Chains A and B, each alone.
Chain A
């Protein structure tokens, strides 16, 4: 594969998951696929970190899960953003933007 994969910095996965389920409820596999697609295969989420992250976010009350039928009519667990999850997403997005902007600035000027 020609695409260079990047390791996700600590905490970024949570942000990506929140963003992915913000539009519509998604199941775990779709979340990882979507992140991979949108990032043009740069970001690849391993199951080993995806599911623990989902469970952690659920425990914090930022996403909630319910069982539903998938596209091919199989039982799947869908995750959706809760109200506090929306707030958390905004906070984290904001923080991320500030961070990247600041890091970018330093890299360009220094």
Chain B
């Protein structure tokens, strides 16, 4: 085997020497043969003649020897490559278009592949990740998934036998102080077994010990590698050092690797053990923990589900008040991550990318078919001279393969650009929730993928001319005049047109549906006026701000300072702000109503707001009054509710003056004094929910946001607000400082990016398809020039001809569109959950898509059609 390879290698790389040797060998043979003949009495001349006669063509012998040496494949390929390059140099236009088209297709595809690879496939890359499950509490009646309460989690953990390990976590922000500017960091409160369960080992120090779950063991923390570099300059001596968080000292015990990133949590930089307070341990009604576990090897998901469900059913029996209707939902971690990353959209984008690649291929196939025609004479001549058909087909393929390297290189360039655009488009806040912190990088797999699809594409679009060259019929072609095409060739081209129409439809319809959703979302009225509103949040540490009076004092001072800033119209305080990623809630008890079943207890979203908050946001007063300056700490406890709450809970009564209790605290009976309009809180696509507002002074909160309506530039205002906060307390970081409009835009960014990407793809697809269709149409019309000429010579009018050609192509268009409708409907169903107020069968979208496509086709056919109608019969017939 080895000697065989060495032999072939020598034969290939030293082929000049080998060829010379063969010449020598054959000449020697020839001479001896001549001598032999001369010995039998012939003259030299006659002997040479005789020998030639027997010898056969020396070149043929040599060629066969080359084949025997097993190098002909290389050699001829090299020849073809050289030929291909020469042809390229001679007429670079066509190949250039082919390379560009191919590179576009490859680029879009590789871009999609990279996103999918990094954000979906590699997203849940944990050791033995298939055994990792996320456990939710599920309201079986309403189908909601909820986070677990501490006692429920502890019961699950204690009573199940299916999980090797069950842990829980929650995230919260900490004030990181002690540096030049105070900083907010996202912290993870995690069960001590968290890292062991995920099989993540710290790069430095240790992870939490199981006993660190018990209170009173002192504050320990792990920090991320990034944080370690930032705060401790990557000093290994950082272990054992302490830092201040929320005013309390924490000791660093370990550093987590930077590539560890559980996207569900966001970009966590500090980890502390989850130690339950007595209150948390007792509260079964409040769900706040995400639970994640590793199944024992061999345990099926279904088994674990049954077991946990049984435990939950038991808990429901034991605690009917808090655990009514509460069952279990079990999702694999990979699925959970995919759900959060928006894998549905990524998959859809990927499929559409493939469609665009196929359109590119059809286009190039069309171009090459046209070129194949001009080369038909050449091919036929070569066949007549004895070339094998396989050999010719191979040559065509090799010539196209020459395009591969530039197309791949350019395609990768496009993919890099696309990746950069995607990364840049994603708001900073959201990146932490995407795998690899939202970065998209190229790697070996990317390259292999790009090269792979490029090769596949070249094979695909080479197929058409190869198919046609297979059908070449010697006499037929030589007799045929230029410009006429066989039935076979026409069919191939028609198939191309249909394919392009189908593919374009498949891209257009989803793009239409998604764009319509985007428009719908932006047309949603948030219910408040986000223009010129700046939001800035501070969270006061409990250790320094124990008493409500301290909290109120801090915010009063800050607010007083902010209100005096120039160009500030209104400044107000609110525990929560719309699109601030957080909202409070409470159960409601209505005075004078019978106690409902536990599962029917109404609830409301709750916000504690200062005076002017509603004015600052531009809320509309329906009846009664806003929360105002008359609401003090010791005045009547009041509450303002929204229209939805009124509609649901007071369908017939007048709510004003009615009393409601928040939660279960009898000190929290409140009188309804106002009704305001509904506003969107979480995202523009959410359904209206019950919402209530209470005076901030009556329910103060350490974490609160300043809501400032001002005509000043946001950047200048932000600096002034920070200064105002630090003037009151220099250790207070100010976070989420941004305009409300930016918050909304950030919230809708993932979908907007998705819609824009798909929209751009659709335009590109339409454009490519139009070019492709133009090419083939022009060709089909040109191939009928003679026929048209004869028809016109017989008296046909331009319009008649136009109609004739149009009619012929109408069938193609109709076939393409009906097939396209079918396929695009299938793809659209993939998208169903991403659409907003648009059905996957939305007729308007389909109609518009068809109309746009037909318009593009007409436009593409216009030029060739007009050319057909203006054919001069005399010229055509003479030309023949």
Q: Is A70 among interface residues, defined by CB-CB distance under 8 A?
A: yes
Interface residues in B28-55 by Cβ distance below 8 A to A read 28-29, 31-33, 36, 54-55
Q: Is the CB of A59 within 8 A of B8?
A: yes
Cβ contact of B28, chosen from A52, A55, A61, A77, cutoff 8 A = A77
Residues of A within 8 A of B68 (CB): 51-56, 59
Q: Is the CB of B61 within 8 A of A29?
A: no
Residues of B within 8 A of A92 (CB): none
Q: How far is the CB of A83 from chain B (nearest CB, A)?
A: 12
Residues of A within 8 A of B28 (CB): 27-29, 70, 74-77
How many residues of chain B get a CB closer than 8 Å to chain A's CBs? 27
Contact (A28, B25) CB under 8 Å given A59-B69, A60-B4: yes
In the bound complex, CA of A10 to CA of B40 (Å): 32
Q: How far is the CB of B31 from chain A (nearest CB, A)?
A: 8
Q: How far is the CB of A82 from chain B (nearest CB, A)?
A: 9
Contact (A48, B61) CB under 8 Å given A29-B28, A59-B68: yes
Residues of B within 8 A of A109 (CB): none
Residues of A within 8 A of B33 (CB): 29
Interface residues in B560-611 by Cβ distance below 8 A to A read none
- Of all chain B residues, the one with the shortest Cβ separation from A57 is B68
In the bound complex, CA of A46 to CA of B51 (Å): 11
Q: Is B21 among interface residues, defined by CB-CB distance under 8 A?
A: yes
In the bound complex, CA of A77 to CA of B28 (Å): 9
Most buried by A among B3, B21, B29, B31: B29
Q: Is the CB of A29 within 8 A of B29?
A: yes
Q: Is the CB of A61 within 8 A of B3?
A: yes
In the bound complex, CA of A94 to CA of B363 (Å): 60
Residues of A within 8 A of B25 (CB): 27-28, 51, 76-77
Mark contacts of B1-35 with chain A using CB atoms, 8 A cut-off: 1 yes-contact digit, 0 otherwise: 00110011001000000000110111011011100
Mark contacts of A49-84 with chain B using CB atoms, 8 A cut-off: 1 yes-contact digit, 0 otherwise: 001111110111100000000100011110000000
Residues of A within 8 A of B4 (CB): 59-61
Interface residues in B60-104 by Cβ distance below 8 A to A read 60-61, 64-65, 67-70
Q: Is B386 among interface residues, defined by CB-CB distance under 8 A?
A: no
Contact (A59, B29) CB under 8 Å given A47-B56, A77-B21, A77-B24: no
Residues of B within 8 A of A28 (CB): 25, 28-29
Residues of A within 8 A of B64 (CB): 48, 51-52
Q: Is the CB of B61 within 8 A of A51?
A: yes
Mark contacts of A19-53 with chain B using CB atoms, 8 A cut-off: 1 yes-contact digit, 0 otherwise: 00000000111000100000000000011100111
Residues of A within 8 A of B60 (CB): 48
In the bound complex, CA of A61 to CA of B1 (Å): 9
Residues of B within 8 A of A60 (CB): 4
In the bound complex, CA of A46 to CA of B61 (Å): 10
Q: Is the CB of B61 within 8 A of A59?
A: no
- Of all chain B residues, the one with the shortest Cβ separation from A32 is B29
Q: How far is the CB of A49 from chain B (nearest CB, A)?
A: 8
Chain B residues packing against A (C-beta within 8 Å)? 3-4, 7-8, 11, 21-22, 24-26, 28-29, 31-33, 36, 54-56, 60-61, 64-65, 67-70
Chain A residues packing against B (C-beta within 8 Å)? 27-29, 33, 46-48, 51-56, 58-61, 70, 74-77
Please name the 4 residue pairs, one residue from A and one from B, whose CB atoms are nearest each other, closest first.
Answer: A55-B68, A56-B68, A52-B68, A52-B64
Q: What are 27 A-B interface contacts by the 8 Å CB criterion?
A: A27-B28, A28-B25, A29-B28, A29-B29, A29-B33, A46-B56, A47-B26, A47-B29, A47-B54, A48-B61, A51-B25, A51-B26, A51-B65, A52-B64, A52-B68, A54-B68, A56-B68, A56-B69, A59-B7, A59-B68, A59-B69, A60-B4, A61-B7, A70-B28, A77-B21, A77-B25, A77-B28
